[in-house]
Structure 1
């Protein structure tokens, strides 16, 4: 019997993955209607137990508050469900008749789902629903400090799935999760894809596992409060977002940037919304309490109430204080509160202009929040556009609380608990992850056109027959052979593929190797016929009346011929004058000359344009 915690965890993971994979062999053949019925049942079970699980999560982890965790549970069991209801994920997704393409959804297999301690039950709802909706099985790996609530949520959803007709083992949850066990889950041969939510180390491990992975980066969300905004409304939304579940959502507001002229009015509005404004000494005490090793948030401060953080810092604040607010003077390691804080602590940074505000917000994103989320409160649409185009973030929220806007509660973005940060943050996607990311798409594509011939290749397509006949005629004429146009046309037609399309003729197209081969075979066949006759054909004569000499070489026959047949005999003349050229032009013949042939200058000039003189070797 195993006693080592890591060995127990690894062994359990192997068993869970094998069970999930076996169940998936059946589930992957479910129709869209069957899958949708399972998802509806699972979501209904989640809604029915949303509050109880929220209470369990707060009690076990000590993070956040029940009301906001309940809201997150409802987001993932109600808002998410309504957003994906009717989405096609398996079978034929769509037909594109004009393109003759059919798209088919194909599940990816077993989803390895890594769950965080900050959102332990809502993440189970979210990842299970999108995995089942996309036709996959799922194995959940809880955070060790949230094991009880995570496993309780998974057990309820598994029960609902089985009752709706899914294979009993389609949802699995590790009860002895350790880091070694989680690594084994991500690297298991039967794991198809990873959904990783957790710290930077966990996300890096997911991407280095050798499996497709959706991991997300940290959030350090800047908020630009412009002079054109409704100030009271903007501050109310900022406080609502920053206090939501005590700052455990990665898209919570971190630093508000505003022009100095708004300072006094802003501080008054924050106080009216029960924000406690820290003085310089209190700010320094909170910084020392909140962070370790520079800008790493202490675990015992994550998701804690403002009263708890104040108590740890040795300061006293009102019992009804919603958040802690501190003014900072810049961005970077010298200003720790400009980093992500994972708690209800908000920084304020005042600048001289809108342009300076853009610079500051961009610097905040680069200081630990690239690709994630940014917010602007403004009434000037041109400024909103400038802000959105410039910021290196993939969720640019306008006039809304950040956590609620980024996950799809107050905006129309995809409801999600996994917010991609794109390539600039080392993520595979910039989307709010949903079921569509957990399928592959197969495309059935019909031929709609013939391929273009490669340049210089003797393809049988797109060849103009008339131009080719003319080229063959010139080729034969160079060898002193006269063949009728009808005979040539028939030979070319036989050599070309059937139903070859015709294109506009090009002037003097080159004679390709394939054409030359066809012509040589044609000549070989004609020569064979001539050899079988009683009298051999006479050699062509030149204009000088000199008897042709016997050739010492022959044009080799094409490989298709049974034997090499000598090409027609040619006569190399010793002398060419202008009269000889004129006679050759009139008779449409060539004059074959050799190295010792004497050609008068006038004969050479006259013969040049028509290529009458053909150089040959004895």
Structure 2
């Protein structure tokens, strides 16, 4: 049972006092429900997680959530969100199946250590407008699996979709005889003050979304897991097969209109395969813009130096029309391509775009491709991941040893693979830690273990004191005493 309560400062008047009182009431209900739930046993925890999963996966509800998300946020497309809601939740259920998350979870006779899984308490889940159903569902399922209550702080645009999801979850929890207060959502209007108050009062924060929200999580005074900025690049090595690589990059670039932080923003192609790869990307629906068209696209995508919401997660044809490129829009491109040579603020196409626009770099060789990606990540996206299309699997190891990335995705559609897929071994998640490179405190995919405390019981064992020479003998021989 979590006993660390942080009472709200409700003595203040006006709007801030009202916000504190509302959040305090939500947290109090969550704590009461969580205290009864935490020790209900593994079957109850599993049932709660399954209930939340079925709430989003049932096809009619899934379709309603997908369509509401697009209608409310204007981001992405409903068909892809429908697929994402289903596959990400199905994969998470696979990962959770058979996992023990309460009571004794491990015994080691050799060390005398017994590990006991414990809930963290009340989880605050910050979620983005790009995935207003899939991301909350993922966090809710993980939290319930581990005996916690969860309160979602959605983006303002995503509130209606998230509230609809929570309503569906309440229906399923009620059918299972479980308390609806285990899952709650901040009431509208969603404000920074309400979110900050929730972060202050809860026991753990899991934050996905804008870097402003992640910074808020890390500075809230509450233990937090937050994720870094995306800006994925993929390298196409000379040994790659363009006919295999191009459709995968195109799928990743266009899925849900590139709402995912794992969608490629750049592709770095070795010189030896440059033109064949461009041809293959064109055959996969890409249109390469000339210098004048690129300039017009830049003007519409960045206004006053800031990425414009007018282009975020919109179709390539829509973006082309906004840029006055009606002839290109008429061709109904799947994605737009621009060639680039630099990176940094003076080269905005080198950054994250959250749109079906792919920046193309030409590298002399594999080492030069790595140098270009390093330069891109020095500007934005360090720690997240890198894609690689190659006929030499060892090149992926080289990237993992040299680039500031937590994941190397080899010969796969990046945005489908980096958060887990059924043809790789990464855990299913919509929140990817970026390590210290991305100013995060973890470098894996956010999963159920992040929602647990572990208590360790230490029993006495036979004393084993090593000899000094067993530990430092080799050092003494090489260096001396």
Matched, 1:14 2:24: yes
Instruction: Report matched runs for 1:333-482 at 5 Å.
Output: 333-409=345-421, 410-449=423-462
2:223 maps to 1:198: no
Aligned to 2:309: 299
TM-superposition CA deviations, 1:530-563 (whole Å, max 9, x none): xxxxxxxxxxxxxxxxxxxxxxxxxxxxxxxxxx
Which of residues 192, 201, 205 is equivalent to 1:179? Answer: 192
Change (3 A) 1:145 1:244: same
Matched, 1:140 2:157: no
Q: 2:282 aligns with which of 250, 255, 271?
A: 271
Aligned to 1:235: 246
Aligned partner of 1:208 among 189, 200, 219 = 219
Q: TM-score w.r.t. structure 2 length?
A: 0.90
Tell me what 1:315 maps to. Answer: 325
SS at match of 2:287: strand
Q: Please, what TM-score do these two structures have when normalized by structure 1?
A: 0.70
Give the one of 31, 34, 48 matched to 1:24: 34
State the distance in 1 between where 2:253 and 2:94 align: 26
Tell me the distance in 2 between the aligned counterparts of 1:383 and 1:402: 17
In 1, the alpha carbon distance for the partners of 2:210 and 2:18 equals 24
Three-state SS of the structure 2 residue aligned to 1:169 is helix
> Matched residues in 2 for 1:450 and 1:345: separation?
63
Instruction: Kindly report which structure 2 residues correspond to 1:492-507, keeping only aligned pairs within 5 A, or say none.
Output: none
Deviations 1:331-354 (A, max 9, x none): 222221011111111000002121
Instruction: Say yes or no: does 1:327 pair with 2:349.
Output: no
Number of aligned residues: 448
Aligned counterparts of 2:216 and 2:126: Cα–Cα separation in 1: 11
Separation (CA, whole Å) in 2 of partners of 1:237 and 1:323: 13
Greater C-alpha Rg:
1
Structure 1 pair 74–5 and aligned structure 2 pair: CA distance change class (3 A): farther
Alpha-carbon displacement from aligned partner over 1:426-455 (angstroms, at most 9, x marks no partner): 111101011111111101111114598xxx
User: Conserved in 2, the CA contact under 8 Å of 1:257 and 1:348?
Assistant: yes
Which of the pair has the greater relative contact order for Cα pairs under 8 Å at 6+ separation?
A: 2
Partner of 2:385, secondary structure, is: strand
- Give the match for residue 220 of structure 1: 231
Is 1:250 aligned to residue 261 of structure 2?
Answer: yes
Alignment of 1:151-162 (within 5 A): 151-162=163-174
- Whether the 8 Å contact between 2:238 and 2:271 is mirrored in structure 1 is no
Unpaired runs of 5+ in structure 1? 453-618
1:169-200 Cα distance to aligned partner (Å, 9 max, x none): 11111122211100000011xx1100111211
**Equivalent residue, structure 2, for 1:259:** 270
CA–CA distance in structure 1, aligned partners of residues 257 and 412 of structure 2: 17
Secondary structure of the structure 2 residue equivalent to 1:362: helix
Q: Is the 8 A contact 1:92 1:103 kept in 2?
A: yes
Query: Is 2:286–2:337's contact at 8 Å kept on the other side of the alignment?
Result: yes
Q: Give 1:388 shift.
A: 2.3
**Given the superposition, is the C-alpha separation of residues 256 and 210 from structure 1 closer, same or farther in structure 2, using an over 3 Å criterion?**
same
Alpha-carbon separation, structure 1, partners of 2:464 and 2:350:
58
Deviation at 1:9, TM superposition (A): 4.1
Q: Distance in 2 between matches of 1:6 and 1:319?
A: 52
Contact 1:257 1:351 in 2 (8 A): yes
CA distance in 1, matches of 2:303, 2:91: 37
Change (3 A) 1:232 1:291: same
Cα 1:293–1:200 shift into 2, 3 Å: farther
SS at match of 2:118: strand
Q: Tell me the secondary structure at the aligned position of residue 299 of structure 1.
A: coil
Q: Is the 8 A contact 1:297 1:342 kept in 2?
A: no
Q: In structure 1, the residue corresponding to 2:133 is in which secondary structure?
A: helix
For residues 510-530 of structure 1, what are the alpha-carbon distances to aligned partners after superposition, in whole Å with 9 as ceiling and x for unaligned? xxxxxxxxxxxxxxxxxxxxx
Alignment of 1:436-585 (within 5 A): 436-449=449-462
Q: How big is the shift at 1:141?
A: 1.2
Distance 1:4 1:61 in 2: 30
Is 1:104 aligned with 2:116?
Answer: yes
Equivalent residues of 2:227, 2:433 under 8 A apart: yes
The answer on whether the counterparts of 2:80 and 2:256 sit within 8 Å (CA) in structure 1 is yes
How far 1:75 moved relative to its partner? Answer: 2.8
Where 1:257 maps in the other structure, the secondary structure is strand
What's the secondary structure of 1:300's corresponding residue? coil
What is the match of residue 40 of structure 1? 50
**Coordinate RMSD, CA, aligned:** 1.8
1:310–1:187 distance in 2 versus 1, CA, 3 Å: same
**1:382 Cα deviation from its structure 2 partner:** 2.7
